[in-house]
Structure 1
């Protein structure tokens, strides 16, 4: 019997006529309906014609981002119809299908929907697809929306599409679906107040998977406060399983209050218990799985830590993992709405109101931050390898797509043009990440292989340890929820085999290592100086108390990089041998001659490499001269041109040329390091061509080589001594060397008495020299670039100070008209 009383209480009911009209007129619609309004449960029933009236009978597929949400939505709709799941309403998630022959509404995960679209692009028999919670911007959901739009445009214009969410970029989705009408259901079922409850003291920002324990202690205290101040059950949002366990541990001694933990790894029985009314008051600690599409009965209070987990990829190191971030305002509103689904409620937010306005409006689209390997394969199988023709709210980042295509090419999933190969199409049908699909196919369709792939498909609990082989054995004998899901997935994977399973000749541990290495070939790593060097070039460290430590080779399945650390940290890996490493990462195996500059000289070797890992090295006796020359040039760039022989005359020549280049420009050459490296062919040949090692460079006269850069063709080279002479004749007749070390203004250091009789200071190439006037003892007495001014104003002071110290030397009152001299008064009189 249909529960019309419950259906009539759902606010979205008032928007059904507008939604129906939009679909009749346009075939697409964007439904914006507040949390708890019934968009997930009432709307599909109405579109399927299951609520009576004149509505035509249709088959509706509802796509949910999570398995727990898909199952819960199906159960809720079946309850509203007075049926059991599997009748008019069913669901399909990976490894589980409960759908009867007369089902009119089927709830699926977006991953399942993608698999169906790849098998049957027309979605034969489906009349309406509802993409629920599209605001979460999961990659599968965005991809499914793009594919569905293609289907509607090219194959089935009658297929109806609804993008539904409580908080979303309605106009963006409208434009994506061909100017689809936006239908809004106004008003939450009940009001929800907000209590700002930040920690009394600042907490450290989260990074990676780490969350400040002080924040978790504060969240636990806010839960206790909420229990004391409010009625009803409390739903507390935390970023992950570890944080849930820690807060649960701090909520001991609550008396008659039950503490439940709900997350993707929770047993089905626990999930069901959370979604059913409790006999006692409850605190439900949940991850983001409880943000949408679920009604937790009895909840009147939400406590929000303000944190969530999002995928991130470190393309430079080839690592992908979840990371803890601040939840967006849209996510905060989703969480807040959980408190108002059955009655007025309140939300305690563990941050300040001022912080709230600075939060991002929406979550980061997964397409911008996640590993795109699976997406790239989906796009290639769809016939659009670069995804340029797909209707996406955000285009995939170029770098991430290039990295994804590199992985797909290495495993034979795409050809050189990025098109899916037959193997790629098969991998796409497996419902696995392409890496895991490759491991399943190449390691052989045995139960043991399926066991390892299933474990890699859903990272096991941390208590299983970091040794993959031991974790498989733990899962076999385990009675926890993870082990139950793992066994189900193993059975599914065994059923995918195209040939009978065969026993492997490898030992169990060796087979585990092979599967891990096939899935993550660039993360095969060899022990190297206390850490492991992956073939990708990333270094990784293992824990002290682990079976992995000391192994010559390992395959890293899961790793993260702690903030402030240059190395990755292995979370899950397997021991392998070199033969397995070569087999798995064969595409990265290379042998070549390497001639480069290292440790101050040319190093010539023949090297066999597996990516960044050197397998074998031997010295090259007659390396390619071209490679040697390149290595010498690299040495000159790294260690500088001082590797050549620079005589004092060569240094002076370079300084003179730098002076002329600065003040006269062309045709005088640029002799900076960068310019000399760029023109090395012009000035260092043929000497460089004959050199084989550092010692040969030291025999090359840099001054002779620089001479080749003089402007001989224009004839200006002959004017070098005229424009930038090495020495200049001063009034005393002495030829004094000019110091060109500072090309802005060269220096002439000369005894003061030798400049008597000179009215204006000397110049070269029109530039006034900076004259350092020296005492008779050769010590600086004055510095001037304007000799006339010095004779007039500065000389008197110098004369007064020095004439008593050097009485044998002339100190005339009028130096500008005095006779210059190199000698003392006595010498002058003779």
Structure 2
């Protein structure tokens, strides 16, 4: 970056802001802040520089690196502040902070007194805190501190968008990266794509095999392997047992000591395999790396705003992030990058990662925006506007916990919540929980909830708290938990005592319920629960919480396509605690509806009925129901109509004559059209409001005569109804004098009649004003089909002969004249053989 410094200083002088685009390893994170602060021997004036990093690990690492370059320890000329740890001295000129810490500082001191330059590092990662902090800083420059200089630093090619946002110039820095050879190593056929948090074990086996291949193919240097999360790192580490290298994890949960060990480089002659999450993509330098193996996956947040469920999901890494990862192999020397996917898949990957503002829970963002004086976030300079639905859900939550008033302004309580540096839900749990369970237990429980504990702690939150208390302080999670408890205790101020006799289970359950009232859940069976927010949830089969009637769910995720959420962390509570936390969702409603489960003990076809009851609800959880006296008649009628729409007109009484009339009308509608009505199920239901009587139950529906319904639909007004028997006669008189029923169910009406009764008929009977010939089924004397014709004349002249030959031997007592068109019809057998 040395050659770009003059251009950067000029851009800052002209515009007050600049966008620095430089590849990884060029010093934009370390040398640039030192130069701007006047800490290098180049005669630059002394200034105070604030560097914002997206992650704690990156902030600590950058500060240590800059301090090392100056021959110092953090806390001297260079310091850092992350949540739970601060090393800053009286002479500190460069302070590295996380973007979350920067947001807290801006809310306390909008002018950023004493700060001359703010450098927002790794803007391309599009973390929500970073986008928000930059928007606030632009507002500060425009209104309070025009002298405050801003730099947005990015390692990817999205500089133009940032330049437009900042009204700034782009300063390009030349890197010293070495060439990297990309080798594609697609997994074997049959590997399934990721699903939610699940990653196919076959892919992880392939990644481990690729690491072994890389160690053999590239004889020198360390291997940096990118995996989506902690679980995958653990599994691949197990698959790499026995390799001729030291296997080290690098992720946010790792102890600071282990992180420092990885970032300080290996011993001479020692090869290392570093299994890392996305933390090593850009802002961290891992020395000694010559090979990158990329599993091609990343984790992104997703939020179900309707149910209040948030989770991480596994996605294909973007092309920009993949390029960042590959660049790690060329920081110090030429390197090799193995991509664990086919080259043909490259163009199908997203160009950039999804901006967090588009997919994450926006409750904390909405509180920050409201505290800044812009509740709608309409005036903030953001690359991407927050989704309206997510913002509406966030504001509803904030009003429910007392952080915003009805006008969207921050209340005094909301301001205190914002200063606590935790999610607003957790801030509510801390403030109210301190009163209910004592400040110490409230701080402990909120610290437990602010970072999900290791899976080994189990899903019982009270037991997880006891394990965190007992954890050795050198254990990563235990150390962070204890530091967070101390931080919260100091911010809470006045301490309150724990009530006598209160157990950990009761206290933790109360805090969890206060944090997530929509996730208070009641048991449906041994492992299945319904949350008051409407989501079903399942405990694992071996959970110690099984059988608990009420739960307060702290952590749950809903796998893609799953009907229920999985409970990851919860606490047992009693009904009183459930009502205390979620009481705002209590409701009593009169319910008149069609219940498809009513009468479920009967035959399957008989289920469903109108129910009228008064029901108590806690959100979506039904607590009790009792019969509703004197329900409104119109409500009963609407419920019955809903039943008809669900189950069809089969709920009515269909006599044989009603079925026959429906078939006749259906035939006329198909053949002649208007004014003959459509009497199919859909048409009947569309007109149900016209004929549905005052009903109260399924039994009332069964008493409605379908014949009367159909008769009411006949075209009486036009007079055509009187022609029904003429156009579609129920029976036809045949030559024998018998009146035979016509079957109108088939597309072409059928007349089934014994063959001898049609002797003498020269033409086929017709209906619908002679438009449609009947399909005549000519039956044997035993009533079995002998022939089918719609043209009797043709049958008598051509087909009858073969039928006569077959039947006269079988039925010798019946007449079989040679000329049936002139023979006498009969319904009886002959008394003697005679002619034939």
TM range (shorter): 0.7 to 0.9
Distance 2:673 2:378 in 1: 50
**Would you say 1:509 and 2:502 are equivalent positions?**
no
Matching residue within 785, 803, 815 for 1:780: 785
Quote the offset at 1:452 in angstroms: 0.4
Change (3 A) 1:603 1:279: same
Alpha carbons 2:222, 2:291 under 8 Å: kept: yes
Q: Which residue of 1 aligns with 2:431?
A: 441
**Would you say 1:279 and 2:267 are equivalent positions?**
yes
Change (3 A) 1:592 1:350: same
Quote the offset at 1:35 in angstroms: 1.6
Distance 2:139 2:536 in 1: 43
Alpha carbons 1:757, 1:819 under 8 Å: kept: no
Alpha carbons 1:745, 1:767 under 8 Å: kept: no
Matching residue within 363, 379, 383 for 2:353: 363
Alpha carbons 1:131, 1:162 under 8 Å: kept: yes
Q: Which residue of 1 aligns with 2:768?
A: 764
Change (3 A) 1:633 1:275: same
Q: Which residue of 2 aligns with 1:9?
A: none
- SS of match in other structure, 2:453: coil
Quote the offset at 1:293 in angstroms: 1.1
Change (3 A) 1:97 1:795: farther
Q: Which residue of 1 aligns with 2:182?
A: 194
Distance 2:194 2:535 in 1: 24
**Would you say 1:107 and 2:96 are equivalent positions?**
yes
- SS of match in other structure, 2:590: strand
Distance 1:614 1:756 in 2: 74
Change (3 A) 1:662 1:168: farther
Alpha carbons 1:560, 1:568 under 8 Å: kept: yes
Q: Which residue of 1 aligns with 2:80?
A: 91
Change (3 A) 1:452 1:820: farther
767-776 or 643-652, which deviates more: 767-776
- SS of match in other structure, 1:140: helix
- SS of match in other structure, 1:518: helix
**Would you say 1:345 and 2:353 are equivalent positions?**
no
Q: Which residue of 1 aligns with 2:490?
A: 495
Q: Which residue of 1 aligns with 2:602?
A: none
Alpha carbons 1:772, 1:781 under 8 Å: kept: no
Within-5 A mapping of 1:458-477? 458-477=451-470
Q: Which residue of 2 aligns with 1:4?
A: none
**Would you say 1:208 and 2:208 are equivalent positions?**
no
Q: Which residue of 1 aligns with 2:604?
A: none
Change (3 A) 1:714 1:201: closer
Alpha carbons 2:765, 2:773 under 8 Å: kept: yes
Within-5 A mapping of 1:584-733? 584-596=581-593, 597=595, 598-599=598-599, 600=607, 601-685=609-693, 689=694, 691-728=695-732
- SS of match in other structure, 1:583: helix
Q: Which residue of 2 aligns with 1:7?
A: none
Quote the offset at 1:436 in angstroms: 1.0
Change (3 A) 1:800 1:27: farther
Query: Per-residue CA shift, 1:254-294, capped at 9, x if unaligned?
Result: 56x44332211222122222222332423322222122211
- SS of match in other structure, 1:444: helix
**Would you say 1:65 and 2:54 are equivalent positions?**
yes
**Which runs of no fewer than 5 residues in structure 1 stay unpaired?**
1-11
- SS of match in other structure, 1:195: strand
Change (3 A) 1:201 1:812: closer
**Would you say 1:298 and 2:288 are equivalent positions?**
yes
Q: Which residue of 2 aligns with 1:579?
A: 576
Q: Which residue of 1 aligns with 2:744?
A: 740
Alpha carbons 2:763, 2:791 under 8 Å: kept: no
Quote the offset at 1:348 in angstroms: 3.0
- SS of match in other structure, 2:348: coil
Quote the offset at 1:823 in angstroms: 4.6
Change (3 A) 1:800 1:174: farther
Distance 1:27 1:789 in 2: 101
Distance 1:43 1:615 in 2: 63
**Would you say 1:244 and 2:233 are equivalent positions?**
yes
Distance 1:725 1:447 in 2: 89
- SS of match in other structure, 2:492: coil
Q: Which residue of 2 aligns with 1:560?
A: 557
Quote the offset at 1:102 in angstroms: 4.8
Quote the offset at 1:767 in angstroms: 5.0
Matching residue within 522, 525, 543 for 2:521: 525
Q: Which residue of 1 aligns with 2:418?
A: 428
Distance 2:669 2:160 in 1: 61
Distance 1:770 1:404 in 2: 69
Quote the offset at 1:573 in angstroms: 1.3
Quote the offset at 1:583 in angstroms: 0.9
Q: What's the Cα RMSD here?
A: 3.5
Distance 1:308 1:189 in 2: 24
Quote the offset at 1:616 in angstroms: 2.8
- SS of match in other structure, 1:303: strand
769-778 or 475-484, which deviates more: 769-778
- TM-score normalised over the length of structure 2: 0.87
Distance 1:755 1:111 in 2: 99
Query: Per-residue CA shift, 1:377-421, capped at 9, x if unaligned?
Result: 334444554545544444444544444344334323345565544
190-199 or 427-436, which deviates more: 190-199
Query: Per-residue CA shift, 1:793-819, capped at 9, x if unaligned?
Result: 66666566556656744656584xx57
Distance 1:367 1:790 in 2: 79
Q: Which residue of 2 aligns with 1:309?
A: 299
Q: Which residue of 2 aligns with 1:539?
A: 536
Quote the offset at 1:247 in angstroms: 3.2
Distance 2:410 2:792 in 1: 81
Change (3 A) 1:184 1:736: farther
Quote the offset at 1:473 in angstroms: 1.5
Change (3 A) 1:415 1:677: farther
Distance 1:730 1:149 in 2: 96
Change (3 A) 1:775 1:582: same
Q: Between Structure 1 and Structure 2, how many residues are aligned? A: 810
Matching residue within 482, 485, 488 for 2:480: 485
Quote the offset at 1:579 in angstroms: 0.6
Quote the offset at 1:456 in angstroms: 0.4
Distance 1:452 1:443 in 2: 9
Change (3 A) 1:254 1:759: closer
- SS of match in other structure, 2:555: strand
Query: Per-residue CA shift, 1:544-578, capped at 9, x if unaligned?
Result: 44431232222121223467754333221111111
- SS of match in other structure, 2:741: strand
Quote the offset at 1:635 in angstroms: 2.5
- SS of match in other structure, 1:496: helix
Q: Which residue of 2 aligns with 1:3?
A: none
Distance 1:663 1:699 in 2: 31
